[in-house]
Amino acid sequence: MKIMLLVSSMNAGGAERVAATLANAWVKQGHNVVLVPCFSTGSGHSFYSLHSEVQVKWLAEDLPRQQWLGRISKPLVLRKRIRTEQPDVIVSFLTNVNVTTLMATKGIDIPVIVCERTHPVISKNIGGFLKLLRKKLYPRADAVMLQTEEAARAFARVLPGLKHVAVIPNPLPEGIEQLITCNGLCTVSGRKTLAAMGRFVSAKQFDLLIDVFATVSHDYPDWDLCIWGDGPERAALADKVKKLGCSQRITLPGKTTEPWEKLSHAHAFVMTSRVEGFPNVLLEAMALGLPSISFDCPSGPAELTQQGTTGLLVQLNNKLELEKAIRRFLCDDDFRCSMGARGKQSVWSRYQLETVLQQWDELFGQVGVPVSGKME
């Protein structure tokens, strides 16, 4: 089977990581995979490692040099690329790419699966015009795929008339199993780290996390908070840490190319996002065995933690409840260790790559694409 996978870019993002994971896995299964970054400038490079047999075709190479002309002609250029490649199925990630893909494939008899990577109702990542195009064009798609049941239900309400709405979660990435370690999660002596990770933007609410940890830090002198990431709010967050007098206890070491390695050295994980599409970092932290706390934001944490039974689920934006959850982890080694073990077992039973690939096979069959050419 020939799969054309369309993405916005191959930069360091959650959607790009999933695209790389799927592309590599499909190639290893014996499929022909063409990966097309549609909104990158120039030829670029992939932040994530790609199998040598994944064919990367940068759409920017075919676009006119004038920026304004390139934007206008993008659907036509993509249409030409699709006719040249003649895939058996097209899988598109992210709203801007999805809309462009559906414009480009009008009248072409190739099944199209468009994938939303953020919560489509609550997320503010797209403007009004793009929302209008999404409402008009998504009914053309053979399937609309979301990552959580909650997001799928919400999406079906606001966009009636869709042919098929599917739910497939993100898979655990290849290689993370090599880093699974308890890393002394139950150790009662020595310094311990509460970790967080993500882009430094308002939706992640790291400022709120810093406030809460500063409040509890005096009662737990053997614990530190480390927030990995970077973004436009870095200076403001660093200034907050300094003003609170917590520079020795709260660190912001920056973005890392080895997120699992960094997380594997922590002793607990916390996520304070206001909204998520599907929180890869929470999934990966739990897979590593880290006992995890998360706001019950839309969407993903409730499903990942099985309604708070395999990780602590805190009412959204409730600082007092977040403080109580953090205190419970910081003061109770046995509880923390038990929660980490339950979380790890739970996500590995549900989000292994093989399990998610099987769900993709089922979706391909539902849109009329026989899954053939796989190696046994």
Regions in the chain scoring below 50 on pLDDT:
68, 183-184, 373-376
Do 338 and 233 lie in a common domain? yes
Do 50 and 87 lie in a common domain? yes
Do 139 and 192 lie in a common domain? no
Residue 284 lies in a domain: yes
Q: Helices 280-287 and 333-350 sit at what angle, rounded to 10 degrees? A: 110
Angstrom distance (rounded) from CA 242 to CA 234: 12
pTM: 0.84
Cβ atoms of 209 and 217 within 8 Å: the answer is: no
Please report the pLDDT score of residue 356 as a whole number.
96
Q: How many domains does the chain have?
A: 2
Residue 214 lies in a domain: yes
Angstrom distance (rounded) from CA 136 to CA 334: 53
Do 267 and 343 lie in a common domain? yes
Do 164 and 192 lie in a common domain? no
Residue 70 lies in a domain: yes
Residue 376 lies in a domain: no
Do 219 and 292 lie in a common domain? yes
Residue 117 lies in a domain: yes
Distant-in-sequence contacts of 134-141, Cβ < 8 A, 24+ apart: 134/95, 134/98, 134/99, 134/159, 135/159, 137/98, 137/99, 137/102, 137/103, 138/98, 138/102, 138/114, 138/162, 139/163, 140/102, 140/105, 140/106, 140/112, 141/98, 141/102, 141/112, 141/113, 141/114
Residue 216, both tokens: 């509890």
Do 158 and 187 lie in a common domain? no
Please report the pLDDT score of residue 375 as a whole number.
40
Tell me the residue type at 36. Answer: V
Do 157 and 212 lie in a common domain? no
Do 87 and 115 lie in a common domain? yes
- CA proximity to 158, closest of 125, 122, 126: 122
Tell me if residue 62 falls in helix, strand or coil: helix
Do 162 and 280 lie in a common domain? no
Residue 375 lies in a domain: no
Cβ atoms of 293 and 270 within 8 Å: the answer is: yes
Q: Which domain holds residue 9?
A: 2-171+352-366
The CB density around residue 372, as the number of other CB atoms within 10 Å, is 9
Do 113 and 254 lie in a common domain? no
Direct distance between the N- and C-terminal alpha carbons of the chain, in angstroms, rounded to an integer? 14
Residue 157 lies in a domain: yes
Angstrom distance (rounded) from CA 366 to CA 5: 18
Residue 371 lies in a domain: no
The CATH number of residue 296's host domain is 3.40.50.2000
- CA proximity to 197, closest of 291, 123, 262, 275: 262
Residue 58, both tokens: 């940068």
For the chain, the C-alpha Rg in angstroms (whole number) is 21
Please report the pLDDT score of residue 181 as a whole number.
57
Do 128 and 112 lie in a common domain? yes
Instruction: Give 318-348 as a DSSP string.
Output: -HHHHHHHHHHHHH-HHHHHHHHHHHHHHHH
Q: Helices 333-350 and 319-331 sit at what angle, rounded to 10 degrees? A: 110
